[in-house]
């Protein structure tokens, strides 16, 4: 694979890892000029439909997630018999490598890594994705100590079937939950159990259960209680140990309900906030609902034999009691009295039941009603309401979200109907992101229970990557999980221009052009010129038509005219004189080519040639020529002869 290019853009550089199903390579994206990680399905699995489907599920599950603590998925593709996923390339180590190197992590490190992993799980679970293979090997730690969860290879959407095939338990044996070990129902709490095992290993340097075979470790997860972390690390805070123990409860119902609760308790410990003792006991009702097994045929036979034996014994007793005939009369009288009492009771029961009969009513639909209207309706039909509330970002405050007794059911008057009423959106405070880096802004939003919205870049005097604006504003109250948009600086705007030609202009004209193009005039030097008269620009340090930034410094050389020549004392003759020829270009536009020839002995000698930009340099050309006596010159514009003039020197 080394050197191979996938998708016409991803050039494989080196192999950096691998697992049971795939190999991982470092590659360079030639389109965006960045390094990426590419997971390539092993060749032995490309014809296995089951494995291919699992590989596709990984890409679908991962691509739906976007979070600072989850490795991003950039692309998915296949080329021939190569199936691959393009991921974010993370510089750093796995959490497993960090634990191996340090042995036991500090309390602050455990709290911070655990919080970041829990934030990743919270995001995944809110998108109905269960990871099902949380372990230190699948957690990358960047150079700035950010934890990033990767490898959703065995994740399933929580809304689909989560019953694991008992013949094929999925997960890593040292880290998976008891329900995974049993091949039972897995949910978000299964990931939380695995998080507890990871925290246990960070705190103690070892996994809670060891064994010589995978099945031995799996049985320990189901049957045995792990040693307390403090038995291996006496310095672990009591509250942190309590969180680990609650996460690793065998019964799913005793663990934390969701990742948000874990994050909240971790926050309290980190900030030394007291919280109630964590209850790790299972709540069991005094009279729980049970499934009563059917009576088997053997049990029925046993009951029948017992009855026959009882009758036989009873007959024997009667024979023995023949001598006690008087008792028969007493027993008979008792029986007759009992019959009479039964008849009276029966008639009385039916009479009284009619007298105290309670009317049945039909349960109305309370859902979507205002809670006050629901109370009024319940009172009219003779029902009572048991109201509980919950935050809901999609349903207005005081609106009934659900009712636990279905609409249309027949119940007695006075029956209590349980309803759930929206408490509206749970509000969060928008943090102040201005002057923060983009990475800091992402973390601050996650900490407040908010999400990153639209991020745009604009030119600014602030450093690149600095937040320069945000919406909503800081300290504004918004619904939890709301998106916050912000603007990132991409540094000062650099404007480039096409350098104009200043040669042939007067110094004043050149200054005006420099000012108009937002350039800066630098040094102005002077030199003699045989071509340009005094005060005309003869050179510039930045060549014409060169792309330069605004406010660039332009240095000029201005003509001092022709240098005076000394008189030859022997001949007493002066050198050649200079004259300026002015040519008007009123009938031309854009750039024209101006040429001047000196006619000597009927031959034309080129003495001036220049391309003149009318828009930048005006419509007048001033050409300086030299000579002695009376000279004849021919002017050509764009190769066409215009006129012949005579100049006296």
DSSP 31-60: TTTEEEEEEEE-GGGTT-HHHHHHHHHHHH
Q: What angle do CA 239, 241, 247 make, to 5 degrees?
A: 105
The single-letter DSSP state of residue 530 is S
- Percent composition of the chain: helix, strand, coil (DSSP 3-state, to 5): 30, 30, 40
Handedness of CA 310, 313, 319, 323 (dihedral sign): negative
**CB atoms inside a 10 Å sphere around CB 535:** 14
Helix (H, G, I), strand (E, B) or coil at 464: coil
CA angle, corner 54, sides to 87 and 250, nearest 5?
95
> Among 410, 322, 317, 420, which Cα is nearest to 366's?
420
Place of tokens 């405070």: 429
Question: Which residue in the list 133, 151, 191, 392 is annotated as catalytic?
Answer: 133
Q: Indicate if 133 belongs to the active site.
A: yes
Residue 350, Cβ density class (10 Å: 0-12 exposed, 13-18 middle, ≥19 buried): exposed
| CB contact at 8 A, 143 and 92 | yes
Phi-psi region of 103 (alpha: psi -120 to 50; beta: other; left: phi over 0): left
Q: What is 147-204 written as a DSSP string?
A: EEE---TT-EETTS--B--TTS--S-TTT--HHHHHT-B--HHHHHHHHHHHHHHHHH
Please choose, from the candidates 83, 84, 82, 85, the residue with its C-alpha nearest in 3D space to the C-alpha of residue 71.
85
> DSSP string covering 319-382, please?
HHTTT-HHHHHHHHHHHHHHHHHHHHHHHHHHHHHHHSPPPEEEPP--TTSBHHHHHHHHHHHT
In contact, 176 and 131? CB cutoff 8 Å: no
The CA distance from 185 to 612, in Å, is 85
Per the listing, tokens 């309590």 go with: 242
Which one, of 182, 171, 95, lies nearest residue 133 by Cα? 171
CB 628 within 8 A of CB 577: yes
- Which two tokens mark 515? 């000012």
**Total residue length of the chain:** 649
Strands 416-422 and 603-613: unpaired
- Joined tokens for residue 610: 């220049």
Any residues with CB less than 8 A from the CB of 130 and at least 6 apart, and which? 124, 155, 156, 158, 162, 186, 187, 188, 190, 191
Q: How far apart are CA 53 and CA 77, in angstroms?
A: 14
Give the alpha-carbon dihedral of 94, 96, 100, 105, to 10 degrees. Answer: 90
Of the candidates 435, 455, 439, the residue with the CA atom closest to the CA atom of residue 447: 439
What is the set of active-site residues? 133
């Amino acid at each position: 694979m080394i050197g191979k290019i996938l998708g016409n853009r991803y050039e494989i550089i080196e192999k950096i890892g691998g697992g049971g199903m795939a190999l991982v390579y470092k590659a360079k994206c030639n389109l965006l000029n960045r390094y990426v990680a590419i997971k390539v399905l092993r060749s032995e699995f490309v014809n296995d439909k089951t494995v291919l489907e699992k590989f596709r599920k990984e890409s679908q599950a991962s691509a739906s997630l976007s979070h600072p603590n989850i490795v991003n998925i950039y692309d998915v593709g296949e080329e021939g018999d190569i199936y691959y996923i393009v991921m974010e390339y993370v510089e750093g180590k796995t959490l497993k490598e960090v634990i191996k190197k340090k042995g036991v992590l500090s309390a602050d490190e455990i709290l911070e890594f655990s919080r970041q992993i829990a934030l990743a799980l919270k995001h995944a679970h809110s998108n109905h994705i269960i990871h099902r293979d949380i372990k230190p090997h699948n957690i990358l730690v960047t150079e700035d100590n950010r934890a990033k969860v990767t490898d959703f290879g065995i994740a399933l959407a929580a809304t689909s079937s989560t019953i694991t095939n008992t013949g094929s338990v999925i997960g890593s044996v040292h880290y998976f939950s008891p329900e995974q070990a049993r091949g039972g129902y897995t949910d978000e709490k299964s990931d939380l159990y695995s998080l507890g095992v990871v925290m246990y290993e960070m705190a103690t340097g070892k996994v809670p259960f060891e064994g010589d075979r995978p099945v031995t470790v799996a049985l320990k997860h189901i049957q045995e209680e792990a040693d307390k972390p403090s038995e291996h690390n006496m310095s672990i805070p009591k509250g942190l140990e309590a969180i680990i123990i609650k996460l690793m409860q065998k019964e799913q119902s005793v663990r934390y309900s969701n990742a948000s609760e874990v994050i909240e308790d971790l926050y309290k410990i980190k900030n030394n906030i007291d919280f109630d003792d964590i209850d790790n006991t299972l709540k069991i009702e005094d009279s729980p609902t049970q499934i009563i097994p059917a009576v088997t045929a053997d049990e029925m036979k046993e009951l029948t034999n017992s009855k026959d034996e009882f009758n036989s014994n009873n007959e024997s007793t009667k024979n023995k009691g023949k001598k006690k005939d008087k008792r028969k009369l007493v027993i008979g009288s008792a029986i007759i009295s009992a019959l009479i009492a039964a008849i009276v009771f029966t008639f009385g029961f039916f009479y009284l039941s009619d007298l105290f009969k309670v009317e049945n009513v039909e349960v109305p639909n309370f859902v979507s009603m205002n809670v006050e209207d629901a109370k009024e309706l319940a009172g009219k039909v003779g029902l009572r309401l048991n109201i509980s509330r919950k935050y809901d970002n999609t349903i207005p405050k005081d609106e009934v979200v659900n009712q636990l007794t279905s609409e249309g059911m027949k119940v007695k008057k006075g029956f209590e109907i349980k309803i759930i009423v929206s408490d509206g959106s749970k509000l969060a405070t928008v943090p102040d992101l201005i002057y923060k880096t983009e990475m800091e802004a992402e973390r601050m939003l996650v900490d407040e229970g908010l999400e990153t919205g639209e991020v745009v870049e604009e030119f600014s005097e602030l450093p690149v990557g600095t937040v320069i604006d945000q919406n909503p504003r800081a300290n504004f109250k918004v619904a939890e999980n709301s998106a916050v948009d912000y603007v990132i600086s991409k540094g000062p705007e650099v404007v480039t221009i096409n350098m104009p030609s200043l040669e042939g202009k007067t110094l004043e004209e050149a200054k005006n052009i420099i000012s108009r193009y937002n350039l800066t005039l630098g040094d102005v030097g002077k030199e003699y010129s045989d071509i340009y008269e005094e005060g005309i620009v003869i050179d510039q340090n930045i060549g014409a038509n060169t792309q330069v930034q605004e406010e660039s410094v332009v240095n000029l050389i201005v003509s001092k005219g022709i240098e005076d020549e000394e008189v030859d004392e022997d001949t007493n003759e002066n050198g050649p004189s200079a004259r300026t020829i002015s040519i008007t270009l009123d009938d031309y536009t854009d750039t024209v080519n101006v040429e001047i020839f000196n006619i000597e002995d009927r031959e034309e000698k080129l003495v001036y040639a220049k391309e003149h930009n009318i828009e930048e340099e005006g419509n007048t050309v001033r050409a300086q020529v030299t000579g002695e006596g009376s000279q004849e010159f021919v002017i050509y514009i764009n190769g066409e002869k215009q006129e012949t003039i005579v100049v006296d020197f």
